[in-house]
Amino acid sequence: MDTYLNKTCPYCKTELNSTDEVIECSKCGMPHHKNCWEENLGCTTFGCTGKLQQVSANGEEIICYSCGYSNTGGAKFCANCGISLSINNNHNQAYNQPHQSHQSQQDYQANQSQQSNYGSSSYYTQANSINDDFTMFIGNNASYYISKFSDIKNSTNKNSWNWPAFLFSSYWLIYRKMYTPGLILAGVGFFMSVFPIAGIIGLGVSIYLGVMGNSIYLNYVEKEISNARNLNSINKQQLFNKRGGTSIGPVFGVMAVIFILALLSY
């Protein structure tokens, strides 16, 4: 636990101490309070898809990377969700290895000191593989969305205003290739247009998307990038081209369909 002295949990912004239970992300190395990890439902590092590595310094418990449940050291499967804990055991071995000698411990601490900016907004704008994936996937206005995602990840408040999502609602969803919710919203909006309260409901939906649009998009981007994490660079690029970026064609297509249906309904 001495390794984490004078380091700060990125979620609650308080220093880690020798009595804290600590979770260290296996991919980015970010240490968190165990409770903070569980409350945040995962690593606080923007875009990180790493799995849990270690909770207690004595190695007596293994935390399930899937659900966060504390299992006894000898467990093979999670007692809560049933998933294999072999991945966690491999991570624990990798974690404990730097502590086998005084020199390796110094090296480990030096590496940790280089990660002192984790959890700060500046970290999320640094060039790294995770940031590259987000930039590649988002495409247009990537810097804007990465900044918004960083603010969301660094705050317990998931609200973040998005003007395009507020003004264009379903069309914004479709433009960002979130086709299923976009098409559903467009269809419901059209069929509800005959009701007197349609305008009020539409305004409510627009406000909701204005407030929650960035969080909705963040969840979509993280899911798609996570699905591509084991692909080679070529297949990853193909997936990002298909699922990421923007597409104006479907927007005009949906607008044309709605216009035709509106004409036919009169």
pLDDT in tens, 51-98: 544 444 344 677 665 556 677 766 666 666 555 555 444 444 433 443
pLDDT of residue 116: 37
- Residue-by-residue DSSP string for 59-115: --EEE-TTT--EEETT-SB-TTT--B-HHHHHHHHHHHGGGSSHHHHHHHHHHHHTT
Residue with the bigger pLDDT between 75 and 100: it is 75
For every residue of 55-69, DSSP letters joined together read: SSTT--EEE-TTT--
Cβ(45)–Cβ(28) under 8 Å?
A: yes
Does this model's pTM top 0.85? My answer is no
Listed as own residue / partner, the contacts of 62-67 with beta carbons closer than 8 Å and 24 or more positions apart are: 62/88, 62/89, 62/92, 63/23, 63/34, 63/88, 64/88, 65/26, 65/91
Residue 222 is which amino acid? E
195 or 98, greater pLDDT: 195
| In contact, 76 and 62? CB cutoff 8 Å | no
**pLDDT class for 113, splitting at 50, 70, 90?**
very low
Q: Is the pLDDT of residue 166 over 90?
A: yes
Residues near 48 by beta carbon (within 8 Å), at least 6 away in sequence: 25, 27, 28, 30, 42, 130
What is the pLDDT at residue 15? Answer: 84
Nearest Cα neighbor of 214 from 249, 174, 164 is 164
Which of these ranges, 6-10, 66-70, 191-195, has the smallest mean pLDDT? 66-70
Task: Give phi and psi for 26, each to the nearest 5.
Answer: -75, -20
Q: What percent of the chain has pLDDT over 70?
A: 66
Q: Is the pLDDT of residue 17 over 90?
A: no
Q: What sign results for the dihedral spanned by CA atoms 88, 89, 90, 95?
A: positive
